[in-house]
Structure 1
Amino acid sequence: MRSYMNLSVAPCDDFYEYACGNWKNLLTNTELAQALNVSTELQVAQKFYNACLSAVVFPFPAAEPAYLKLIRSVGGFSKNPEGVANYLAMLLLYTMDAKLKGEKYHKDYCLSMVRFSFPHLLNKLYMADQFNERTRSEVYAIVQEVRNSQRKALEKVEWLDPETRREAQLKESTIESIIGSYENEEITTRMIQEIRGLDLKEASYPQSLIHLRKLVTRLRRFNGFHYEELHNESKPLDFLLGMQVNAFYYNLDNSIYVMAGILHPPAYHPDWPNSLKLGTLGYLMGHELTHGFDTMGSNFDSEGEMRNWWSKKSRAVFEERAMCFVDYYDRYLIPEINRNINGKGTQDENIAVSGGLQGALDAYRNQMKQLKNRSEGANATLESEKMPGLDLSPEQLFFLGFAQLWCADYEQEHYWEELGKEHTIDKYRVLGAVSNNHDFSQVYNCPSGSPMNPKNSCRIW
Structure 2
Amino acid sequence: MDLAESLNVSRELRVAQRFYNACLEADLHPFPAADPHYLKLIRSIGGFPAVDGAAWNSSNFSWFNMSAHLTNYGAQGLYDEMLPTLRGDTVGLVVNDLGFDATVKLDNMKKNSSRAYKRNERRMRGYLRSFNLTEDRITEVIDGVFAFWREALVAIKSEDWDSEFDITNYYKIAWNKEEEQWSYGSAFVELDKICARHPEAVANYLAMQLLYAFDANLKDVKDQRDYCTTKMRTSMWPLFKKLHLAENLSEEKRLGVLEIAQAIWNNWRKIVEEVDWLDSEARKDALLQVSRNPEFQFGTPADTSLTDQKIPEILRLEVVDDNYAATNMNLFRLKVDIERFRTRHSVEEGFMISQREMIMDFRENNTNHNLIAAFHGSFLEPPYYHRSWPHSLKFGTLGFEAGQYFTTVVT
Greater relative contact order (Cα < 8 A, sep 6+): 2
TM value normalised by structure 1: 0.45
